[in-house]
Amino acid sequence: MRITALSLASGALLAFSGLLDAQPRLTGGTSYLMNQAIDISDDFRDLANTYFIADHLASFDAASGEGLVGWKRYRMTPRQAFNTNIQQVQELQMLDFPGTAYVNDPELRIKLDFISPRTVRVRMLTTPVVPREEESIMLDGKPSNDTSWKVTETGDYVLYTGDFGSIRIDRSPWRIVVLDSEGRVLTRTAACQDTDLTQVKFLPFSFIKRGSDNARRINPVFTLSAGEMIFGCGESATGLDKVGQKLNLFVTDPQGPETDQMYKPVPFYMSSRGYGLFYHTSAPLTCDFGASYIGLQKIYMGDENLDLFIFLGEPKDILDEYTTLTGKAEMPPLWSFGTWMSRISYFTQKDGYDVAKHIREGRYPCDVIHFDTGWFEVDWQCDYEFSKTRFEDPRKMLDDLKADHFHTCLWQLPYFTPGNRYFGELIDKGLNVKNGNGSLSYEDVVLDFSNPETVKWYQDKIGRLLDMGVGAIKVDFGEAAPLDGIYHSGKSGWYEHNLYPLRYGKAVSDITAERHGERIMWARSAWAGSQRYPLQWGGDAATSDTGMLGTLHAGLSFGLSGFSFWSHDMGGFVQSSPEDLYCRWIPFGFLTSHTRAHGAPPTEPWLYDSERMQTVFRESAEMKYRLMPYVYAQAKECTQKGLPMLRALFVEFPHDPGAWKIDDEYMFGSQILVAPLLEEGMTGRTVYLPEGKWIDYQTGKVYTGGWREIEAGKLPVIMLVRDGSVLPHVALAQSTDQIDWSRMELRLYAADAKTASGLVCLPSDGSLQTVKVDRSGRILSAPKGVSVKVVR
Give the residue numbers annotated as catalytic, written as ranges: 476, 479, 540
**CA neighbor of 351 nearest in space, from 367, 373, 378, 369:** 369
Is the dihedral angle over the CA atoms 454, 459, 465, 468 positive or is it negative? negative
Please give the full DSSP string across 276-304, using - where no structure is assigned: EEEE---S-EEEEESSSSTTEEEEEESSS
Length of the chain (residues):
792
Q: How far apart are the first and last CA of the chain?
A: 91
Is the dihedral angle over the CA atoms 702, 716, 736, 521 positive or is it negative? positive
Rounded CA separation 511/382 (Å):
18
Rounded CA separation 721/703 (Å):
10
Q: Which residues of 311-324 are buried (b: 16+ CB within 10 A; e: fewer)?
A: bbbebebbbbbbbb
Rounded CA separation 61/127 (Å):
20
Amino acid at 459: Q
- Biggest CA–CA distance in the chain, Å, is 94
Rounded CA separation 179/162 (Å):
10
**CA neighbor of 40 nearest in space, from 325, 308, 322, 279:** 279
Question: What SS3 class is residue 546?
Answer: helix
Give strand ranges (E) for 138-240. Answer: 150-153, 157-161, 165-170, 175-180, 185-188, 206-209, 216-219, 221-223, 230-234
**CA neighbor of 187 nearest in space, from 228, 155, 158:** 228
Rounded CA separation 180/732 (Å):
49
Question: What SS3 class is residue 78?
Answer: strand
Question: What SS3 class is residue 623?
Answer: helix
Pairing of strands 566-567, 536-537: parallel
Please give the full DSSP string across 50-67, using - where no structure is assigned: EEEEEEEEEEEETTTTEE
Q: What is the dihedral of CA 722, 723, 725, 730, to 10 degrees?
A: 70
Rounded CA separation 327/457 (Å):
26
